Structure 1
Amino acid sequence: MSSVFIRTFLASLTLLSVLGLPVDLSKISNDTDVRKIESDAGMVTIDPKYNSSMFYWYFPPVNASLEPNDDTPLIMWIQGGPGASGFIGNFFEVGPLNLVDNTTLVRRNITWANNYHMIFVDSPVGTGYSYTASDYGYANDTEVDVTKQLYTFLTKFYDDIKPELKSNPLFLVGESYAGHYIPALGKYLFEHPIKGTRFGGVAIGDGLTFPADAVKGWSVRGCCGQLLLSSMRPSLSVFMINMMIVIYLLLAAHSHFDIFLAFQVAAKPDVAYYFGLIGPDRLAEARRLGEEGKRLALQGKWVEASQARDKLESLMTDQSGGVNLYDVRTTDDYSWQDDRLQYFLNLPQVKETLHVPSSRSYGTVDAVGEHMSADIMKPMVHCLPPLLNANITVML
């Protein structure tokens, strides 16, 4: 018997599904409020052929005074990327836990998990704790591969982990590249409902759902930066930010597209000039790259379109002095989040607590992004009309 076979066999034993096991947070946190939080976590087999498994972490409503019933929503949080872990949403955005340094978990007081059931997943496989043993196990596109993985997870979650939640309305919620995942999964759930379940709707923030036009908006998203880099930046108010958003939406109303075109303002050169992070000397180049990305996407040249988008982002970042294009108030790239997650989630006691095999390291492998490179610029907007026509809740 070859050593390769033995190693493969042993690896497969350590990656079998670990379903519905409770999490004892007292093992990894000294915070009294954290220790009170109930949850389940583990690995779910997605494709035994490739030894693919997906990590999940489920929280019932944390609010002790709340009595959940069949109408209490179940929120499935799907992070972006491709290849962003659900721990980002859990620990830094909407979850009940806050990782304040490399080893310290505290309770987040304002969280959706106070009143709703929540599931955080590492998707697609290869992301975070999720794993595949074969190059064939990675997702190559959203509409088929990622949707199949997430649908398989949900089916097993309902059948094997929390069948009592089938009657609760399920909402798919996420941000950024989840603007790909959620419309596709939502459409598939609508067309292939899991028996006995209730599909409540979808909600997407900052979603990359119609990339061919969204890419044009980078030159205008960056527009805000030059203003922010000025002396006004330290005093930027929520009102100012909201006004910028209103301007985006008003200008988008003149577009011939119906939805997802709040960034369709790159065609407004005057606005780009007065708001822009780039000067008038680079605006033409930015607009050219945006148009190139759109043209290539509409031609179905997905990889080339994504490369044009990358060039545009690099131009905006370089010309702005490193402003974060996702939060133009700062130059912080939030890399510290990844550093904290890498340290904390690779601690042996954390993996043991979350029922993750000791052999599994936390971290997204490069293969996730490489396999999805031709998917980035594909539109997913066509997945939403069936939901809207069926009066399923859609929030964008």
Structure 2
Amino acid sequence: MLRILYLVHDLSDPAVRRRVLMLQAGGAEVMLAGFRRGENRLADIEGVTPLELGTTADARFAQRLGAVAGAGALLPRKLAGLAKPDVILARNLEMLVLARRASTHFGTVPIAYECLDVHRLMLKAGPAGRLLRGAERHFGRKAGLVVTSSPAFIEHYFKPLSGIRAPIHLLENRVLELDGGDAGLPARMRPTGAPWRIGWFGAIRCRKSLDLLCAFTRRMEGRFEVVLRGRPAYREFDDFDGIVKREPFIRFEGPYRNPEDLSAIYAEVDFTWAIDFFEEGQNSQWLLPNRIYEGGRHGALPIVLEGTETARLAARHGVGIALADGRLETLIQRFAAFSDDDYRARNARLVALGTRPWILDRADCTAFVQRLGALRQPSGQAAPLQPLPSLIANKVDCHER
């Protein structure tokens, strides 16, 4: 059994829980270590007791640097009781720093670098950006694999800007579905005259989206409602709870378990809000968020923004509703005359796809664990770089050496 040490920047991130479940389903033994950044007990993983390396805070870069430095000094002592891993999987740059130290502690263990989000600081042209990319290049020299979630991250960051020269593995943020086969999607039946519901689930961090949806639902006078679920990034809003409380057609329903609660929460909505203006022109244009896969798997039509990687994914599958821009009038015009017949026709195209484009099953989990296990190849033997057959339609890319 492959033993993986998974180093993470935020133990309370639900995405960490999903990755651990995926690795376990693929046949790996997972040892989890990282920083605690918040209390989210829904993100706890049964049977896994994480090794806590300290506490960090969102949007406090200097504090996180200090925490990483402190953890690095104490890491040999922290890891003393752990069995030697076969592979270290490091999530985000700060954990890549610690992965190098951990690899040395255990007597050279191969490292995979998981980078699913390109922070805006990494893209800056000035000294700060060059410093961070230099750090990534330095600490990533020993990485045998980069794992990322969107073709646009490869095209716009890893090829032209990142100095890491490891092969790149594309692993999209699909829904983890370990039990049962492709059961298909049932057609949606809506009560006549019921308001249309838009679900915005997951990481809620985009103030522009919230403002737009508040204005939109008010202008539509109750024809449209918005349901929010997940983890609000409170630092990005002046008063998130107050804003939601004042809005007559928007409500926040708190966190949820992924993947266990997805079927129930998406059954309550007609559309998925798959637009993010958080880092316009950069990360928001390139990412493929969890919610587009979740909504697709459970029959909610995605609302996307033209020119983004999310819109390209929706167009490739022939589903969803694309907005030309993020203006209120564009959103109103697009839905002013939206009818039940429009919805049924679009929903039928989504249903016809089935669940396969949106999910990861046990075979996919096994294939990913095997890909990580291939990093143990003796020096000089190249690990296979073929794409996992059921994960992606795009070819897995790697850097020119």
After TM superposition, the score normalised by the length of structure 2 is 0.26
Q: Specify which structure has the bigger relative contact order, considering alpha-carbon pairs within 8 angstroms and separated by 6 or more residues.
A: 1
After TM superposition, the score normalised by the length of structure 1 is 0.26
Q: Which structure shows the higher helix fraction?
A: 1
